Amino acid sequence: MKKGVFSYLALALILSMLHLSAPQEVRAEEKVKKPYTVTLQSKDGKVVGEAKLVETNNGVVIQVIAEGFDPGFHGIHFHETGKCEGPDFISAGEHFNPFKKEHGLKNPKGPHAGDLRNVNADAQGKINTTFITPRVTLMKGKENSLRDLDGSALVIHQNVDDQMTNPSGNSGARIVCGVIK
């Protein structure tokens, strides 16, 4: 489940470069910061994986490696409070939404800053995916920081997120949670 820090940095750098304007070269300001590790736990407190978050100039790169899911797509979101008390993870609060938008990447009045694309668990129930979001930061003191006074949480849901319906895209129960402080 664990990989070397170099691979995370290299991956974040590559993703960051894809979003640069021409010429396609790494500029000094594109240096990637140290990865932030989020331990993911199931409703019964068992560690089921981790997420690596890396700040870049183009947003936060998120790599999720976890297991124990039903095969198929699952909603994943940043939630507003850094608490993961099982079994329902309601302690994580609502979706992280500092700009008061509506839910969903496809919603014309959205998305929440914490809305993310769905993740896919393979036939063995494993998730191994990497993506980027420009709507949040790990830098303290920013309005859209995941590391504000009470932190935030990364939550994976039971079902697929429809990316439109308030408040959480009909993504169902919160089944995995990880604290971000």
Kindly list the catalytic residues.
77, 79, 95, 103, 112, 115, 157, 174
Tokens of 122: 């393979």
Cβ pair 63, 11 in contact under 8 A: yes
Cα separation values, 96 from 9, 13, 24, 44, 157, Å: 25, 26, 33, 24, 15
Residue showing tokens 């932190």: 151
